Amino acid sequence: EEIQPNKSKWLVGLNQNGDEIWRKEENRDGLYPVPFQACPNGQVITALSSMEEDASYVTSYNHLGEVIWERKLVGRDVSPIQVDQDNHVYIAAGGMNGDRYLYAFYPDGTTKWKLKIPSPLGTKVETLYLGNDRSLYLTLQDKNSLFKISQANP
């Protein structure tokens, strides 16, 4: 089956030679994808934002394309996904009501912590970066807000 650009949402697993080993189609209506992130343990983390509800979904797949875990997040505006050397997953999401949260998940999908980010109404999370010091750096679209979050004490 041929993949049609802009008509389907696919996640395709490739081996080191570039050969397709699996593919998953996202069939839920009203969702748009966010760039994925690979983990050191081989999992692939994706996020999909809902146009029909004020929510996003972050999903972890194994090397065979099977869903390991999926979590629903508050808000459809999501940041890039970050993964640390211990396979913890970090993603920020915000809703139409102005609430913004930074989520941390263990490799098995359980919540490590959830932190509310103070932000002006309608301001989206622009950047989420994992620094060499293992701190998370988050900027908002207003260009005036920079947050540094220590993983040891969020």
Give the pLDDT confidence score for residue 139 in this predicted structure: 80
Tell whether pTM > 0.75.
yes
Give the pLDDT confidence score for residue 83 in this predicted structure: 92
Give the pLDDT confidence score for residue 110 in this predicted structure: 96
Q: Name the band, by pLDDT with cuts 50, 70 and 90, for residue 4.
A: very low
Give the pLDDT confidence score for residue 76 in this predicted structure: 80
Beta strands in the chain (DSSP E): 10-14, 20-25, 31-38, 44-50, 55-61, 67-74, 77-78, 82-83, 89-94, 100-105, 111-117, 125-130, 136-140, 146-149
pLDDT in tens, 71-125: 999 888 888 899 999 999 999 888 777 778 889 999 999 999 998 887 666 667 7
